[in-house]
Amino acid sequence: MSNSTPKHIAIAGAGLLGRLLAWQLLRANIRVTLFEAGSFNPTNQDIRAAAFTAAGMIAPLSEAVVSDVNVYRMGQFALKQWPQWLGQLQQPAPSLFFQNGSLVVAHPQDVSELEQFERELQFVIPECNTYHRVNQRQIQQLEPDLQPNFSQGLFLAEEGHLNNRELLAALMREIQALGGRLHEHMPVSVGPHTIVSEHSEEMFDLVIDCRGLGAKNQQPQLRGVRGETLHVETKEIHLQRPVRLMHPRYQLYIVPNPDNRFIIGATQIESEDRSPITLQSSLELGSALYTLSPAFAEARIFETETNLRPAYMDNLPRIKIETGLITANGLFRHGYLLAPAVVENVLSHIFTKPEKIFNEILHQ
């Protein structure tokens, strides 16, 4: 640590970026105070970080199709960085990272959607060689519990997923064990060196703003993009990896979690409405799920959730460095995919490391 490295850093927002940064800074022996508007262990009755609603997919190829090649490159970095980070956890935690690839399928009548997905993939990443087409037999070998009439698919071998809620809990345990100073139920506004809450104004060597959409009052260019998820539980189906279903009206994903649980999502709506999932969305998600395998009919829905993804106009992340204040935001639908690049970039600024990862992309 050089003499100019800040000794006491405040972080506003304990979602994905806030927890990761707090943890990494504490590991580097920096004093950290973390301010969170909600609870550090929120239930689904609370308004909580988008990080809790996310499905946890680390899907550089699938996401490149709806974004650009830089998202793919940062996603490839994430696939290496997550296992390294998870290896640094000191407290016991369940399995958090799985890298079994992902499978993209379409019903026979929608095969043109699958073909278009592949064309877009080749357009965005012409050099890509980490996926291959799979036929009916190979799909059944990969996921025997899917219904057997999927005749074509794509297997994206390098993709992975995180058990994200367990990860967020594990990060909080690490932060506590490393002596982070914690303030929950304390919404704050930020300025250079300054955190302002309802009751006080505190000064720090550096403030990092990780408030996601909560920063909108100070960054009006941020917008929220609504997403809805269904959480189901069934012992009838076992999936090894996330499966995406291509459909003319929506692209459904289903992500397996431990304990026979699955997260299903599809929606991306230009709205900042956080009200509960609509009947139409739940019917579409449920019926698409049923077409993946009729055995899902008996699955129990134990949670539905709605949240807003924090995004800038171009749907790409940004880091802004000012004296006494760093702002990191705009992770949109790629939070877990892009957080390693964003966090490592912020850390390299704080520790004035010569090489700044993805500097030219993250600081436009």
Ligand X SMILES: Cc1cc2nc3c(=O)[nH]c(=O)nc-3n(C[C@H](O)[C@H](O)[C@H](O)COP(=O)(O)OP(=O)(O)OC[C@H]3O[C@@H](n4cnc5c(N)ncnc54)[C@H](O)[C@@H]3O)c2cc1C
Smallest gap from Cβ 122 to ligand X, in A, equals: 23
Angle at 98 between CA 47 and CA 317, to 5 degrees: 50
Kindly list the distances between the CA atom of residue 195 and the CA atoms of 35, 47, 189, 213, 330, in Å, as whole numbers in the listed order: 9, 22, 6, 17, 21
Phi and psi for 332 in degrees, rounded to 5?
50, -130
Among 6, 9, 15, 316, binds ligand X (CB under 6 A): 15
- If binding is defined by CB under 6 A, does position 212 make contact with ligand X? yes
Q: Which is nearer to ligand X, 225 or 237 (CB)?
A: 225
- Regarding 10 and contact with ligand X (CB under 6 A), the answer is no
In the shown chain, the binding pattern of residues 230 to 269 toward ligand X, with x for contact by CB under 6 A and - for none, equals: -----------------------------------x----
C-alpha 87/C-alpha 68 separation (Å) is 30
Of the ranges 29-37, 85-93, 142-150, 293-301, which one interacts with ligand X (CB under 6 A)?
29-37
Contact window for ligand X (CB under 6 A) among 128-136, 295-303, 324-332, 348-356: 324-332
CA 26 to chain centre: 22
Residue nearer to ligand X on the CB measure, 4 or 45: 45
Nearer to ligand X, 152 or 156 (CB): 156
Closer residue to ligand X, CB minimum distance, 82 or 152:
82
Minimum Å gap between C-beta 329 and ligand X is 6
Q: Which residues contact 10 (CB under 8 A, 6 or more apart)?
A: 32, 33, 34, 35, 195, 202, 204, 206, 207, 208
Report the nearest approach of ligand X to the CB of residue 276 (Å).
13
Distance CA 122, CA 119 (A): 5
Whole-angstrom distance, CA of residue 353 vs CA of residue 179: 25
Asked if 334 is part of the footprint of ligand X (rule: CB under 6 A), the reply reads yes
Q: Please identify which residue in 172, 210, 243, 289 interacts with ligand X, judged by CB under 6 A.
A: 210
Q: Which is nearer to ligand X, 9 or 12 (CB)?
A: 12
Per rule CB under 6 A, is residue 335 in the interface with ligand X? yes
**Inter-CA distances, 330 with 26, 309, 339, Å:** 24, 8, 11
Which residue type is seen at 348? Answer: S
Residue with tokens 């171009």: 314
Q: Give the C-alpha distances (Å, rounded to integers) separating 340 from 171, 317, 344, 345, 360.
A: 14, 12, 6, 8, 16
Centre a 10 Å sphere on the Cβ of residue 29 and count the other Cβ atoms it contains.
11
Which residue's CB comes closest to ligand X? 15
Instruction: State in angstroms the smallest separation of the CB of 162 from ligand X.
Output: 8
Any contact of residue 51 with ligand X (CB under 6 A)? yes
| Residue 55, both tokens | 């499905």
* Interface with ligand X, residue 155, by CB under 6 A: no
φ/ψ (deg, to 5) at 250 = -155, 160
Q: How far is the CB of 261 from ligand X (least distance, A)?
A: 15
Count of residues in the chain: 364
Tokens read off for 257: 């979690």
For every residue of 154-174, DSSP letters joined together read EEETT-EEE-HHHHHHHHHHH
Token pair for residue 144?
């025997």
- 6 contributes a contact to ligand X by CB under 6 A: no
Count of positions on this chain that bind ligand X (CB under 6 A): 39
The piece of 99-107, 278-286, 334-342, 349-357 that touches ligand X (CB under 6 A) is 334-342
**Residue 199 has which token pair?**
């009751």
Q: Which is nearer to ligand X, 51 or 152 (CB)?
A: 51
Residues 66-125 that bind ligand X (CB under 6 A): none
Q: Write out the residues near ligand X by the rule CB under 6 A.
A: 12-18, 35-38, 49-51, 53-57, 187-188, 210-212, 214, 227, 229, 265, 307, 309-310, 329, 331-337
